[in-house]
Structure 1
């Protein structure tokens, strides 16, 4: 079985760039998506984690709170035990090196500062202007 998560939304905060003990860089951020139902807008929040080094570089340089992005990744649930013995879990959208895509749609720096990282997420046939946010 295979699953994909594809979303267009805005970053809810500036991305957090960290380095693991093993030296790998990663980015994490919250992504807000929304839909309008019965005249009311409903927002959904997604925690996103990026492990692709090239994407981390692009995110560090160009993504800020409010940036409109399109992304594709996998939904994964991570489990761990806290110091007091309780089992914790969190569900994240994970973008890794081979199976993920990320594209900044607006709110980015000028075009001359673009770094190519992966191909565009969506086919140009889709009209992003019709999205409710």
Structure 2
């Protein structure tokens, strides 16, 4: 069996870091993904996809991503059922395995530049390698 999902879109809101009772970091956020075709009105529909990140990935997302910023998500589709106020609810979301910067700032040569928190590209690559070691 194979379960893999890759999406690229924009953050719908600033992510908020939370902790479980046992102290594990997590965050739930939505990504707006625009369809690649136009509907009959000539505009593009948008899907809002819920994503859930855990541990260091959650901390990374909340530190470096803000509302409106492009993001690339790699993960797997999960679903769950829960009951609230006597009604059964179903939820489908992406459990995030990896995140990457997508698009963003460009300089005069149309080359991507890292977010301002990074002093140079080597800082960016170091943080990404640390994230990969955790998986």
1:59 aligned to 2:66?
no
The answer (yes or no) to whether the contact 2:34–2:47 under 8 Å persists in 1 is yes
TM (norm. structure 1) is 0.75
Q: Which runs of 5+ in 1 are unaligned?
A: 120-133
Q: Which runs of 5+ in 2 are unaligned?
A: 106-113
1:41 corresponds, among 40, 44, 58, to 44
Aligned length: 113
User: Rg: which structure is higher?
Assistant: 2
Report the Cα distance in structure 2 between the residues aligned to 1:34 and 1:21, rounded to whole angstroms. 36
Question: Whose helix fraction is larger, Structure 1's or Structure 2's?
Answer: 2
Question: Whose strand fraction is larger, Structure 1's or Structure 2's?
Answer: 1
Runs of 4+ that moved beyond 3 A:
none
Aligned ranges 1:1-133 → 2 under 5 Å = 1-38=1-38, 39-51=42-54, 53-82=55-84, 84-95=85-96, 100-105=97-102, 106=104, 109-110=115-116, 111-112=118-119, 114=124, 115-116=127-128, 117-118=131-132
The answer (yes or no) to whether the contact 2:11–2:71 under 8 Å persists in 1 is yes
2:45 is paired with a residue whose SS is strand
TM (norm. structure 2) is 0.74
